[in-house]
Amino acid sequence: MNNIKKIAVLTSGGDAPGMNSAIRAVVYSAHHFGIEVVGILRGYEGLIDWETISLGLNEVRNINNQGGTILYTSRSERFLHLEYRKQAAENLKANNIDAVVAIGGDGTLRGAIDFQEEGIKVVCIPGTIDRDVACSEYTLGFDTAANTATEAIDKIRDSSVSHGRCSVVEVMGRKRGYIALWAGMATSADAIILPEKWNGDFDSVIDAIKQRHADGRDSYLVVVAEGVTDAPELAEMIREKTGIESRVSVLGYIQRGGNPTAKDRMYGSLMGAYAVEILSNGKTNRIVAIKNDVLVDYDMGEALRLENNKLDSFQYELSLRLSE
């Protein structure tokens, strides 16, 4: 039974292209169901300090193509503590908010799970460029980030080829190597180093480059996910052990920004609308996810235990084969 009259929407954790499409779809769908929407600024921080804006159709009309998040974001340390979650819950109750739509990554989901203990209804939408939310095959922002990284690496490669150098490119992804895997495969990297697979075997990377050198190649590309190893150290090791001039490029935050691709706009729209749909059907404490390319939703606690989003083993094996 639907007794939802007023909802809040927030974005939390690292911003990701497509978050704005999700916000827009939440507002449009809520409008369709006659639900009022309040935008919470700066993620969970704004819930604690009650920093809000009213969100009507006019506020979200021209945001589908914008990177970042119009609601701003944060990684809230305070929300990890019960006293601040209680304060946030009191703010919501005092303002007659029936439910919260939280868009973000793993940290956002964990925050939402703790928050439901304060009697707050939450629905989460997975939004993070890392594609590392266990229950969902897709997270908003990944496609844009992988394309941005690919475009940047293509440019780096032009220079690398011209100089006959080895380029070591560090991309984002602390625990999941999807950006490295996709951008690395798309740019035909000679070695792709992923957090899930890295065993500290620098020699295999050096040997791969030596082999290519022996085959007559004179430029090389190594794509490494952040958190695996220190990229400048790796470049120095390649230079020392092969004699090949090596350079490092750390792509950094350009991967998080920029206009979302059609995929991120579409999935943002679908997930935002779906979140409101399940709320209006009386479901709460759910996370929206993609399974077999279809929208589904899971209980938030159960979502943490699911392991759908392990690195795809065929994609990984193929990355090895295509860089032999």
List active site positions: 130
Distance of CA 7 to the CA centre of its chain: 24
Which residue, chain included where needed, has tokens 């169901």? 33
User: Closest by alpha carbon to 169, among 230, 231, 243?
Assistant: 231
Site for ligand F6P in 252-271 (CB under 6 A): 256
The yes or no reply on residue 6 touching ligand F6P (CB under 6 A) is no
- Residue whose Cβ sits closest to ligand F6P: 14
The yes or no reply on residue 174 touching ligand F6P (CB under 6 A) is yes
Site for ligand F6P in 191-230 (CB under 6 A): 226
Contacts with ligand F6P by CB under 6 A: the residue count is 11
The yes or no reply on residue 238 touching ligand F6P (CB under 6 A) is no
Phi, then psi, of 170 in degrees rounded to 5: -95, 125
The yes or no reply on residue 172 touching ligand F6P (CB under 6 A) is yes
Query: What is the spatial distance between Cα 127 and Cα 120, in angstroms, rounded to a whole number?
Result: 21
Which positions ≥6 away from 181 have C-beta within 8 Å?
Answer: 192, 194, 311, 315, 316, 319
Using the contact rule CB under 6 A, the part of the chain among 126-134, 185-193, 203-211, 213-221 near ligand F6P is 126-134
The yes or no reply on residue 14 touching ligand F6P (CB under 6 A) is yes
Using the contact rule CB under 6 A, the part of the chain among 82-90, 168-176, 210-218, 305-313 near ligand F6P is 168-176
Phi, then psi, of 262 in degrees rounded to 5: -55, -40
The yes or no reply on residue 130 touching ligand F6P (CB under 6 A) is yes
Contact 123, 9 (CB under 8 A): no
User: Closest by alpha carbon to 119, among 95, 101, 100?
Assistant: 100
The yes or no reply on residue 134 touching ligand F6P (CB under 6 A) is no
Among 6, 75, 110, 291, binds ligand F6P (CB under 6 A): 75
Give the interface with ligand F6P as residue ranges (CB under 6 A): 13-14, 75, 128-130, 172-174, 226, 256
